[in-house]
Amino acid sequence: MDERWTRADARPWPARVLALVVALLVTGPALAPGFVLLRDMVFVPRQDLDLDALGLGGSLPRAVPVDAVMGLVTGVLPGDWLQKLVLVATVYCAVLGAARLVPPGPDGRRGAAGLVAGLVYGWSPYVAERLLIGHWTLLVAYAALPWIARAALRVRAGAPGALPRLLVACAPAALSPTGSLLAGGLVLVLVGRSRLLLAGGGVLVLSLPWIVAGVLHPGGGTSDPAGVAAFATRGENWAGPVLSVLGTGGLWNSGAVPGSRASVLAPVLTLVLVAVAVAGWAPREVRTAPARGLLALGGAGVLLACAGVLPGATELVEAAVRWVPGAGLLRDGQKWAAWWALPLAAGAGLGARRIAAVVAARGGARVLGGVVLAGLVAVPVVALPDLAWGVGGRLRPVDYPQDWQRVREALADRDGDVLVLPFGAYRAFGWNDDRPQLDPASRWLPRPVVTDDALFVGGVAVEGEDPRARRAAAAADDPAQLARLGIGWVLVERGTPGRAVPDAVDDLPVVVDGEELRLHRVPGAAPSPSPSPVRVTAVGGAHALALGVCGVAVLWITATASTVTGRRPPSWKRVPR
């Protein structure tokens, strides 16, 4: 990998058009009016900038700083519009970024090699499965990785203004803890030793909001090791979990896996893509120091993804999750396959170009090479046909019942936290076709929400990290105890499975009584617990510092843009003299 990898494309429009077509094909149904509410993907019309959003609540800061950003952005842009924009932009940037990561050929064009790389990366099981499980922030980081790689290579080459562009490219990934680590690993292997301290320090500052919030979390930041087995990578077909990961699949939740992943043909096409990628990385002149670093990172991603099913590795991960704060990020191992997807896509693009050139040279016809390229372009689509149209129509928007807005208005400018019953992290509402989704109350309501953070995965109970939530659940049938805990309200979400609501709650005063929601007031509630001044200062300072770095980077790019020499137009645009 050298300066050729970041060189401008003489014909950039084919990749741009492909990226737009793929983005619309994948997200099409989601663009209809309403919200796509599927598992962890929960957007609301207006999200508040509360303690949990900043990482000062009782839950671990898994959604820090993304919830704070959502609180700011939805104050300007409605949540449903924002969701549609995020989904389309994520798929578009994933395809285009991977297509641009392949170095141009001798003619200055990336051509079909770029298209192969873009489809391998953007039309992939990783994208499909993370969409179906609702991990949109992880997909935002995934889409940013090719752009981070290009920016890191520019920093390595000492290009003017490369560092602020790298920080801007890392900012979307830094919206989540996992995204920060994915970006940090890529910067570590690509930026070079001489510039690692500065570039790595910048990524670290962007990650400070969730790091500081996690370190100062009252629960200690450790997690239940039972989650390692519950969230372990699974085989999707006859080939087992390792080959599923090599194809960027293997998600632990079988309900969030496209049907085509179970086909007999899926592992065969995975092996075809891996073989093409091996052919692409085989030439010695391609395997420069940064290229070797990228390949090593991809290998590490495969190992981490499979750690939950490898003897010996499983026990190591369980011990880390039990004793090391923040190591709970390792439980869902398959997400680290994102590191593998990048060299797979770039290698597939290089390999497609090389194979087509060999076929054309031996066959004596460029047409034959073009046919081979066209076939390789089609492989990712043939391997995953049901990614089209919202992963087989599963990204269907719905409207929230009016009861949600009524409860929000009733809680405006009121004191007391809200306990949500039935106690459980996930819901299955009739108005959302009984599809599993994360409880939206914590994002919808203007007061801090106490809800269950324990999970049940395949019959395995994974204990939560919020001690206050457990105390509130135990006191649900004792309104006086709830009041002492600072619970001023109980929200009953009707029509969703869960434990029966205690009779003592039914006897509380009713403030909102709708078809979907019933809001009770808990008399005499004590003031809600507040985080310590030290914690508030440290977490607030971390947010301010990260935001400041982003602002300085943008201003730096803007201020230097007018002093950069204009890019020489490609040969096909030059006017002959």
Q: How much is the pLDDT for 305?
A: 97
Q: How much is the pLDDT for 567?
A: 52
DSSP, collapsed to helix, strand or coil, labels residue 512 as strand
- 272 in Cβ contact with 347 (< 8 Å): no
For residue 77, pLDDT over 80 is answered with yes
Mean pLDDT of 123-151: 98
Mean pLDDT of 180-201: 96
Q: How much is the pLDDT for 576?
A: 46
Q: How much is the pLDDT for 568?
A: 52
Rounded Cα gap, residues 569 and 450, in angstroms:
58
pLDDT in tens, 192-247: 999 999 999 999 999 999 999 999 988 777 788 888 989 999 999 999 999 999 99
Mean pLDDT of the chain, nearest integer? 93
Residue 63 structure tokens: 């959604």
Q: How much is the pLDDT for 326?
A: 85
- 306 in Cβ contact with 333 (< 8 Å): yes
Q: How much is the pLDDT for 238?
A: 95
For residue 255, pLDDT over 60 is answered with yes
Q: How much is the pLDDT for 68?
A: 96
pLDDT in tens, 288-339: 999 999 999 999 999 999 999 998 899 999 999 999 888 889 999 999 999 9
Q: How much is the pLDDT for 72?
A: 96
- What letters, b where the CB count within 10 A reaches 16 and e where it falls short, cover 20-51? eebbeebbebbbeeebbbbbbbbbbbebbebb
DSSP, collapsed to helix, strand or coil, labels residue 22 as helix
Mean pLDDT of 85-93: 98
Question: What is the pTM assigned to this prediction?
Answer: 0.95
- 326 in Cβ contact with 278 (< 8 Å): no
Q: Report DSSP letters for 283-346, one per residue.
A: STTT--HHHHHHHHHHHHHHHHHHGGGSTTHHHHHHHHHHHSTTGGGGSSGGGGHHHHHHHHHH
- 294 in Cβ contact with 366 (< 8 Å): no
Q: How much is the pLDDT for 575?
A: 47
Going from N- to C-terminal start, the domains of the chain cover 3-393, 403-521
Query: Which of 37-46, 138-147, 493-502 is predicted least confidently?
Result: 493-502
Nearest partner of 35 among 345, 390, 397, 467, judged by Cα = 397
For residue 171, pLDDT over 90 is answered with yes
pLDDT in tens, 403-454: 999 999 999 989 999 999 999 889 999 999 999 999 999 999 999 999 888 7
Q: How much is the pLDDT for 499?
A: 83
Task: Give the single-character DSSP code of 150.
Answer: H
